[in-house]
Structure 1
Amino acid sequence: MGRHGEWLIRMFLAFLCSVCLAHIGRFPASYISITNILLAGQHGIKTFAIFFLLPVIIIQLGAPRFSARTSHERHQGRKIQRFPMAWTLFSRLFFTYTWRILVLGYRNRLELSSLDPLPENVRSSALSAVFQRASIKKREFTAYADEKEAFIQAPTSSSPKGRLPLYAVIFAVSRWELLLSAVLRLAGIALSLVPSLTLGYLLVFIEDGEVGWHGYAYALEYTLSQFVCGLLNAHDKYFMALGAYKAQSALVSALYKKVLRISSSSRRKYTAGHITNLISVDVEQVGQFLQLANSCWSVPLKIVATLAFLWHYLGPSCMATVATMTIGTLATTCAAHYCGKFQVTITVAWPPPTHPLNEKKEKKREATMET
């Protein structure tokens, strides 16, 4: 943060100490302002020295004692630079440890001893087996005996034909995560309307002068609704990310098994770059689609709920906002479409020059593939 940042932090801490001392001494909070203190005469100057200058001096002199900085040292005529740490004791306590507790918890998540074992249903082998069972349709066989009393099994005529689509197989792999995420998303949408209703009740409370405890109840309801809504959104994203991870793991395992099992003649049709693109790009796109799958129904539902809420309070005037948003969206979409077409036209008209060495490599690769 530098010296200026440390000085500001120390001044802020000194001001907090002065406010605490004033509260202990039963002084009003406005009495701590420098203008009131200087205009109060000699008694105000003494109060300023006790409640503001003294904490500043103590913190300014005491904070460097607890700092993690190390001085420069000389060793055999050479100066050793030790990397100083700009965080003092107070800033470290207020920022570093607090951030660690809020975000990382009380354990270091990156240490091997603090990591939880991977559950059986999330491992790649189990996910690959589920993917394989879902991708291969079960066929029904009918057993009968022929004229020579030989036991024969033949598939029934009503056996399913074709293969299941990819989205059905992926849903079979991560169906519970998608369902839990959908339930949490629906609850979050319903709960996101509560703060707006609570603000309306607070405005009525301020204007009409209801019972005092009603205001505390409304404020508590507003805070809890925001907290629970954020908690539901975080768990929604967690379950969606877990479902996307399971689908990606199953797809990568299936691709590797397919590559290792195909014959050498068939393997020549696929280059290493093609297989790498399948694993790194296409599988990642499937994971990104899964993370946005619930948005296909949640976004329209949220828009409809918001419009109903606005119609209830504003009436037909809310349609002006809807018309403005619709016109802006259509204009942006048309502009992006024409810009894309213009860019493609420029690329086709003036293609980038190719290096001769790259052309030789491409011809050599095509000749190798043909042979």
Structure 2
Amino acid sequence: QEGRRFCVSCGGDANLSIHTDNPDLTPCFQNTVLAWIPTVYLWTALPFYLLYLKRSKRGYIVLSMLSRFKTLFGVLLWCVSWADLFYSFHELLQSRTPPPVYFVTPLVVGITVLLATLLIQYERLRGVQSSGVLIIFWFLSVLCAVGPLRSKIMTTTAQRFRSATFYIYFVLLIIELILSCFKEKPPFFSPANTDPNPSPELTSGFLSRLTFWWFTSFAILGYKKPLEEKDLWSLNEDDISKNIVQKLSREWDKEKAECKQNLYVLPGMISMKKSNHALNHVGDGPEEAEVLIRDKRHSRKPSFLKALMRTFGPYFLIGSFFKLIQDLLSFVNPQLVLISFIKNKDAPAWWGFLIAALMFTCAVLQTLMLHQHFQYCFVTGMRLRTGITGVIYRKSLVITNSAKRSSTVGEIVNLMSVDAQRFMDLVAFLNMLWSAPLQTCLALYFLWQALGPSVLAGVAVMVLLIPFNSAVAIKTRAFQVEQMRYKDSRIKLMNEILGGIKVLKLYAWEPSFSEKVLEIRKNELRVLKKSAYLTSLSNFAWISSPFLVGCTCTTVCTAQEHPWRTHGKLTVRPTNLGTKYKYLLGKKNIFHTVSLKRIQQFLSHDELDPNCVEREVIAPGREISVVLRGADAERVLFVWGFSGVSGKAKRI
């Protein structure tokens, strides 16, 4: 009753909208739900979008005719919306009391349209050429206005003023949507204005980026002729290795600095005396020595994973959002199957057309979201590999001599090639860590509605596979560590052979060194063979899991004489989740943990102190010499490293 007081009183809602050959929406639904959906979307996205625009530093766009027309039609939409509001007040003054919905909806819609108009100009000042947020808003507004438009055309109404304003409002929405599909000019001081061959990705419109239309011209060019280097576009600023390595190095240095500042002592330990004696003579007493040892033992080591997350995490989360939408859409089609409609002889014909249209729309949206997800994942993986390779190379130039003895050239080469590549390969499947459990929960929910408690039998099969694959994963990780150790030693030996190839040829030592390399390679292949056997067992278990789960659920359900309430709604979607856990507990995650440990251990090596070398501009003709006189010459000791005093030189 309260809802009818708020809007328009209407009866027989189900017969009017669903169980009829000529469906229509109730006036209350049209003036509330359909009118508020675009409003709720824009106000929900507003805080996040404003934060994004605030951080955008692209420069401003000169006021163009396109921007002026979009602003003009936005103001007209605001005027039309509030014209309905003022008309409601006019009716109130004429002793006609309209429903409250005729006051609330025009007020809310008018404020929202005014907000969208202001966003058009704010986006221009922040250098946004095409706004995906506003395109979606105008599209939702047009889509939600199609139903009321059909109702007003099919039925006659006494509210001629509101009908006229609605027709004007709908036409203005169409114009605004069309104008929003066109992109603005590049911002002032944009690299696209100076680059002779810029990439069209950043300057492309929202629809072009969503459908990858900006790449079409390049694909056609490659079809017509073989591509050359001059045909390639310039790299985007965010994809240049110099910028990527600087960002990752800055985050890694910040992580190391935080670890140095956050040294702590566990509760209950003996506190160090803060006297001048303790500060100047560390370790004079047993208490101070004990505290120093424990403090060093429990200090947190810098995490390279945190540096990676802070550098590449925000961009990767955008792809995760697309993956979330794709996962939710993947469970919509099983709920829209046509079998139930076909078995219902009394169903109106428009039900079938609506279900088919929804299934097609869902499939298209799912494809768009999935490709956007992979686009963000692969770009993140490319940047990740570039950053890791650059950071390792920079580190190899500044590590001390003692660190060079522990980390050979072969290990450094493997870190920059193999381990960095594994991070890139992992990113595409990293979202499975949360996507697989989410899809499992949704699938179990729908299966429980269809089969009841019988679905627990299939769950038991999947649970039994997890310990087996976990044990295989642990063993595979051990084999991976052993294989990388053999690979490092093999590359180290090959570098030494190539470096001294003249000596080997002179003394005819090729066979002996060849046997050493082949022996190491033989051990490496032996470990790879064992790892391949374990991987085959794991893959067999996960690939056969859909059949085992489906067979178990069907058998238990049939044995219990459970009524099949689904009428054929069971699809392959709920039973293929076992293959997703293959990536969750697969060898890619194992290789990733091994590679992360190796890279972090290498980046934690000591570096040369740049302050030990004094850099001065020497005048031309001036000689440089180091002279030790008197007692200083007796106390100086020259060594190659800190681990020992071998190779020392005195009295030079």
1:334 positional shift:
8.2
- Report the AA paired with residue 207 of structure 1: K
Which residue pairs with 1:129 in the alignment? 246
1:212 positional shift:
1.5
**Mapping of residues 207-356 of structure 1, within 5 Å:** 207-209=343-345, 210-263=347-400, 266-327=403-464, 329-330=465-466, 333=469
Assess if the C-alpha contact under 8 Å between 1:108 and 1:114 holds in 2: no
Q: Counterparts of 1:162 and 1:324 in 2: how far apart (Å)? A: 40
Question: Structure 1 residues 171, 198: CA separation in 2 closer, same or farther (over 3 Å shift)?
Answer: same
Q: Counterparts of 1:192 and 1:330 in 2: how far apart (Å)? A: 24
Q: 3-state SS of the aligned residue for 1:313? A: helix
Instruction: Give the counterpart of 1:188 among 312, 326, 329.
Output: 326
Assess if the C-alpha contact under 8 Å between 1:135 and 1:163 holds in 2: no
**Mapping of residues 93-172 of structure 1, within 5 Å:** 105-108=219-222, 110-112=227-229, 114-137=231-254, 164-172=302-310
Question: Structure 1 residues 252, 338: CA separation in 2 closer, same or farther (over 3 Å shift)?
Answer: closer
Gaps of 5+ in 2: 1-214, 262-298, 481-510, 519-645, 648-652
**Mapping of residues 8-157 of structure 1, within 5 Å:** 105-108=219-222, 110-112=227-229, 114-137=231-254
Assess if the C-alpha contact under 8 Å between 1:127 and 1:250 holds in 2: yes
Which residue pairs with 2:316 in the alignment? 178
1:262 positional shift:
3.3
- Report the AA paired with residue 208 of structure 1: N
- Report the AA paired with residue 192 of structure 1: S
Q: Counterparts of 2:438 and 2:398 in 1: how far apart (Å)? A: 46
Which residue pairs with 1:158 in the alignment? none
1:124 positional shift:
0.8
Q: Counterparts of 2:246 and 2:474 in 1: how far apart (Å)? A: 46
Q: Counterparts of 1:337 and 1:259 in 2: how far apart (Å)? A: 32
Which residue pairs with 1:80 in the alignment? none
Question: Structure 1 residues 115, 207: CA separation in 2 closer, same or farther (over 3 Å shift)?
Answer: same
Question: Structure 1 residues 337, 248: CA separation in 2 closer, same or farther (over 3 Å shift)?
Answer: closer
Q: 3-state SS of the aligned residue for 1:118? A: coil
Q: Counterparts of 2:252 and 2:380 in 1: how far apart (Å)? A: 17
Q: Counterparts of 1:130 and 1:340 in 2: how far apart (Å)? A: 34
Q: 3-state SS of the aligned residue for 1:197? A: helix
Describe the superposition over 1:344-369 as per-residue Cα deviations: whole angstroms up to 9, x where unpaired.
9xxxxxxxxxx95456679xxxxxxx
1:272 positional shift:
2.5
CA RMSD of aligned residues (A): 3.8
1:187 positional shift:
0.6
Q: Counterparts of 2:249 and 2:473 in 1: how far apart (Å)? A: 40
Any runs of at least 4 consecutive aligned residues in structure 1 with deviations exceeding 6 A, and if so which? 101-104, 337-341, 359-362
Q: 3-state SS of the aligned residue for 1:116? A: coil
Q: Counterparts of 1:170 and 1:338 in 2: how far apart (Å)? A: 25
Describe the superposition over 1:208-232 as per-residue Cα deviations: whole angstroms up to 9, x where unpaired.
2322122122112112212211221
Assess if the C-alpha contact under 8 Å between 1:128 and 1:250 holds in 2: yes
- Indicate the percent of aligned positions where both proteins have the same amino acid: 23
1:284 positional shift:
1.8
Assess if the C-alpha contact under 8 Å between 1:174 and 1:244 holds in 2: no
Describe the superposition over 1:308-362 as per-residue Cα deviations: whole angstroms up to 9, x where unpaired.
11112222222232233334x2586389589979x99xxxxxxxxxx95456679
Q: Counterparts of 1:339 and 1:282 in 2: how far apart (Å)? A: 19
Q: Counterparts of 1:332 and 1:174 in 2: how far apart (Å)? A: 34
Q: Counterparts of 2:416 and 2:475 in 1: how far apart (Å)? A: 31
Q: Counterparts of 2:221 and 2:432 in 1: how far apart (Å)? A: 34
Which residue pairs with 2:339 in the alignment? 203
Describe the superposition over 1:192-246 as per-residue Cα deviations: whole angstroms up to 9, x where unpaired.
01110110xx222211232212212211211221221122112111211111111
Describe the superposition over 1:252-272 as per-residue Cα deviations: whole angstroms up to 9, x where unpaired.
111111122335565454432
Q: Counterparts of 2:457 and 2:325 in 1: how far apart (Å)? A: 29
Q: 3-state SS of the aligned residue for 1:136? A: helix
Which residue pairs with 1:6 in the alignment? none
Q: Counterparts of 1:338 and 1:113 in 2: how far apart (Å)? A: 48
Q: Counterparts of 2:404 and 2:397 in 1: how far apart (Å)? A: 9
Assess if the C-alpha contact under 8 Å between 1:184 and 1:232 holds in 2: yes
Assess if the C-alpha contact under 8 Å between 1:198 and 1:218 holds in 2: yes
Q: Counterparts of 1:305 and 1:214 in 2: how far apart (Å)? A: 26
Question: Structure 1 residues 186, 173: CA separation in 2 closer, same or farther (over 3 Å shift)?
Answer: same
- Report the AA paired with residue 317 of structure 2: L
